[in-house]
Amino acid sequence: MTDFFDEMHNPDGSFRTAYSEIGQWIGEEDVARLRAKQREAEEVFRLTGITFNVYGQADAEERLIPFDIIPRVISSSEWQKLSRGIEQRVRAINAFLHDIYHRQEIVRAGRLPAEMVIGNEAFLPQMLGVSPPGRVYTHIVGIDLVRTGPDEFYVLEDNARTPSGVSYMLENRETMLKMFPELFSKTRVQRVSDYPTNLRRSLAACAPSATSGDPTVAVLTPGIYNSAYYEHAFLADQMGVELVEGHDLRVRDGRVCMRTTQGYKAIDVLYRRVDDEYLDPLNFNPDSALGVPGIMDVYRAGGITIANAPGTGIADDKAIYSFMPDIVEFYTGEKAILQNVPTWRCSEPEALAYVLDNLHELVVKEVHGSGGYGMLIGPAASKRELAAFRAKLKAKPGNYIAQPTLSLSTVPIFARSGLAPRHVDLRPFVLVSPEGINITPGGLTRVALKKGSLVVNSSQGGGTKDTWVLED
């Protein structure tokens, strides 16, 4: 027996209702065929070019993202509850962003310390008083969820800046449909293939008032050396829009225009995958060659929509995250449907003392960290690693938060020895426009492929699975 919730099996070993069809299918399948299908899936990903780069390593060439052929299954009723909580949270995040760049009512009300906003490196003074079209700041959001029990879901973190991974969600489903069409004839699974259409429609609905005719949408990428370049190109292709780099764009007559064979054409909505700091060398980092000089001036004047809006990164801040239950209640008037993980802000002396005393039991993360970098998992750390991290905490406590080590749920993967349980999280993708909120059923399941590991990030050795949300 373990303390981890098994999503596939009941305590007596029988299949949970959502997994009954899959469980029966696995039991009837020849192991050799499944092994061949696993190899075939890897070859499909290699030929399609579904890769990512790992920064900061000598062998930082493109790597294949490991894919596991056993789908993760979520029942319709579970998904309905999650969807309500996700929508509530995304609405609150958008309201919060509008507020902190305008009247800052949440600070005036004493629900959020002023220094959490003004002293935050992700807070952009250049956004003060700016209202994006439709008051939408986070056009695309990824909410990372973990499960610890039958009805216990927690938000691990919010991704409101430039959430990645949706291309893997789409390719995972496409691969499964090709390899196991019989599974989809047996099981009614909600589709995800309309995401690119919904993304383009949602972005177009956020076009600025300067737009005439059908909105022109483009995807701004830092270029081929970015770790998520495959996704940038994939989404542009799937939406049928141009993929552009900073040198393809310039400001002309108060509009941001892209170079075409017919001359320069104005862009109405720019889905940018370039960080704030590099977006505009005239307003941010003057050395940036990735952005567009003057784009922020056009944006503030209402000449272009930037998705996601500059300055949304403050909602990703893990110290701000610790206030999310208050933020949700403040802007919606309701208690948060989805729980937060208990969080200690190391900037507070009492919290820091507790964290230092219990470091071996906690997970410690950088406030602005992502991708699994710069974090400590206390129970898995060596004495040397604990000592080194203790020194970091004492030197810059405000850079860190700490959380308990959760008993993440497990789902089976097809390992060399057969089926084996591994820990997972889930990143649902949310589209926001003045027309409403669209949540793709399921999202990206990331799985820790190493036995006992709680780190699911691909950059740290994790893989992905197809996520099935069952129809009623």
* CA dist., res. 128 & res. 97, Å (int): 10
Instruction: Tell me the backbone φ, ψ of residue 460, rounded to 5 degrees.
Output: -115, 20
* CA dist., res. 192 & res. 442, Å (int): 8
Q: State pLDDT tens for residues 4-31.
A: 999 999 999 999 999 999 999 998 988 9
Handedness of CA 58, 60, 61, 67 (dihedral sign): positive
Q: State pLDDT tens for residues 160-205.
A: 999 999 999 999 999 999 999 999 988 999 999 999 999 999 999 9
What H or E segment, with its residue span, contains residue 72? strand 67-74
Report residue 1's pLDDT band, with 50, 70 and 90 as the boundaries: very low
Q: Residue written as tokens 């406590």?
A: 397
Q: Is residue 383 part of a domain?
A: yes
Q: Which of 389, 404, 419 is the last residue of a domain?
A: 404
User: What does the pLDDT read at residue 64?
Assistant: 75
Is beta strand 376-377 parallel, antiparallel or unpaired with respect to 362-366? Answer: antiparallel
HSE-up of residue 411 (Cα within 13 Å, Cβ side): 29
**Angle separating helix axes 76-100 and 324-332, nearest 10 degrees:** 80
- Do 133 and 199 belong together in one domain? yes
User: What does the pLDDT read at residue 397?
Assistant: 93
Evaluate whether 176 touches 183 at the Cβ level (below 8 Å): yes
- Do 425 and 386 belong together in one domain? no
Average pLDDT, integer, range 232-249 = 97
DSSP string, 304-373: -EEESPTTGGGGG-HHHHTTHHHHHHHHHSS--SSEEPP-EETTSHHHHHHHHHTGGGEEEEETT--TTT
Query: How many domains, in total, are found in the chain?
Result: 2
The answer on pLDDT for 331 being more than 70 is yes
Q: Is the pTM of this model over 0.85?
A: yes
Q: Is residue 452 part of a domain?
A: yes
Q: Is residue 264 part of a domain?
A: no
* CA dist., res. 432 & res. 124, Å (int): 21
Q: Which of 404, 431, 448 is the last residue of a domain?
A: 404
Instruction: Tell me the backbone φ, ψ of residue 438, rounded to 5 degrees.
Output: -120, 120
Tell me whether residue 70 is exposed, middle or buried, using C-beta atoms within 10 angstroms of its C-beta: 0 to 12, 13 to 18, 19 or more.
buried
Q: State pLDDT tens for residues 250-296.
A: 999 999 999 999 999 999 999 999 999 999 999 999 999 999 999 99
Spatial CB neighbours of 181, under 8 Å, sequence gap ≥ 6: none
- Do 67 and 120 belong together in one domain? yes
- Do 166 and 315 belong together in one domain? yes
* CA dist., res. 67 & res. 11, Å (int): 27
- Do 324 and 417 belong together in one domain? yes
**SS3 call for 460:** helix
Average pLDDT, integer, range 378-384 = 90
Q: How many CB atoms lie within 10 A of CB 41?
A: 21
Q: Is residue 288 part of a domain?
A: no
Domain span holding position 382: 342-404
- Do 320 and 432 belong together in one domain? yes
Specify the CATH number for the domain of residue 353. 3.30.1490.270
- Do 382 and 333 belong together in one domain? no
- Do 102 and 88 belong together in one domain? yes
Q: Which of 404, 427, 452 is the last residue of a domain?
A: 404
Q: State pLDDT tens for residues 194-203.
A: 999 999 999 9
- Do 457 and 315 belong together in one domain? yes
Is beta strand 444-447 parallel, antiparallel or unpaired with respect to 418-427? Answer: antiparallel
Report the chain's terminal Cα–Cα distance, integer Å.
32
* CA dist., res. 385 & res. 219, Å (int): 41
- Rounded to the nearest integer, the mean pLDDT of the chain is 92
- Please, what's the largest Cα pairwise distance for the chain? 69
- Do 26 and 37 belong together in one domain? yes
- Do 421 and 369 belong together in one domain? no
- Do 51 and 139 belong together in one domain? yes
Report residue 47's pLDDT band, with 50, 70 and 90 as the boundaries: confident
